[in-house]
Amino acid sequence: MKTVLITGGARGIGAATARLFAKEGYRVLINYEKSHEAAKALCEEIGCEAFSFDVSDREAVIAFKDELCRRGISVDVLINNAGISLFGLFQYVNPKDADRMYSVNLFGTLNCIRAFLPDMVSKKSGVIINLSSVWGDVGASCEVDYSTAKAAIIGLTKALSKEVGFSGVRVNCLAPGVIDTDMNANLTVNDVEEIVNSVPLERLGKAEDVAAAALFLASDNASYITGQVLCIDGGWKG
């Protein structure tokens, strides 16, 4: 049985991904920081294991990795999904809020990869899937810092895939468009209508759409795919 670790796995895209991987027979580990009740409910629903720590805390990530080692658990698929949003005019964004966003979205991803990559290289097998965003490619007004962090995730994916491909480790990236999750709960009815009207498939994305793409990239069906960015945006970006 393969083991998948999904950061930010208690809600939204992470929870949908956990459900799908559990259905497909994976041993599912999820990380969360504050969503204790959601994590508990998900574990009861699908039989996964939940671990509470902040991915931006490198020592906490290492401690978690060491705990898994003591239990003889090896991660075959790492899905770096943990992330927070940041909205506002660039010159007025609170620097502390920006630092926090970068710490979770970018450095949290780096921390987890640095912790689990060595075992994958040693085994000559492993899959890393990073969550970016269409904004990481095209940029978004009033989400400059967020777009910057997500662009860095794309660069990380492409560079790392070239470095570890010879070790049998594949690294790919998912770039969702506007997905109907709590992260986009601030959108008004008019905002949603405007977005839907601009999406060729004429709907918002679902967390399950992203989960299905992650499952494909983790599978043997994607064994010759690495260093790629797969957009799940209904054709919005074009």
Task: List, by residue number, the catalytic residues.
Answer: 146
Cβ distance 181 to 83 under 8 Å? no
Cβ distance 2 to 79 under 8 Å? no
Please give the C-alpha separations between residue 23 and each of 3, 110, 151, in angstroms, as whole numbers.
13, 28, 32
Cα 229 to Cα 238: distance, rounded to the nearest angstrom: 14
**DSSP code string of 66-78:** HHHHHTT---SEE
Please give the C-alpha separations between residue 130 and each of 51, 52, 83, 127, in angstroms, as whole numbers.
19, 20, 11, 10
Bridge partners (DSSP) of residue 176 are 232
